[in-house]
Amino acid sequence: MSNETTEEATSLQPGRHDENNDTVAIRKATLATILAGVAVAVVLGIGGYLFGKNSGEDLEAARATGTTAGRAVGEKRGDIRGFRAGFAKGKSLGFAVSYNQAYKIAYLDAWEEAGLDAPPKKDVKVSR
């Protein structure tokens, strides 16, 4: 027998591995796995589409509920922030007015306590 015939005969014997057959089997298994994954994805995609299409009537009700709830939360948040900002601004303005008046009164009182003629109230400048 020649060498080629011997190699062919030994590769066909039971218990002998043929690397080409192993590679083909691995490729087939990989291809089958990929195709199964694609099939599952397609089925899930179609199911999701049909589910979404059939539940579209609820979408408007959900949107209306969400919009109403969002407005309520936004209004409450706006009230809280607006109150804080308004309170701080009012406190600041109230302090400025009160401080200016109190400063002028105290300034004029100091002049009088010293026995001096106080300048007119309108001429007293308040520096801060």
**Can you tell me the distance from the alpha carbon of 14 to that of 17, in angstroms, rounded to the nearest whole number?**
9
Buried b vs exposed e over 7-21: b needs ≥16 C-beta within 10 Å? Answer: eeeeeeeeeeeeeee
Look-up: residue for tokens 């949107």? 63
Spatial contact of 126 and 99, defined as CB atoms under 8 Å apart: yes
pTM of the full predicted structure?
0.32
- Sorting pLDDT into bands at 50, 70 and 90, what band is 11? low
pLDDT tens, position by position, 68-113: 999 999 999 999 999 999 998 988 888 888 888 898 999 899 999 9
Count the alpha carbons within 13 Å of 33 in the hemisphere toward its beta carbon: 6
33-63, pLDDT tens digit by residue?
999 999 999 999 998 888 777 666 677 888 8
Residue 92 has what pLDDT? 86
- pLDDT higher than 60, residue 16: no
| Assigned token pair, 34 | 């990929």
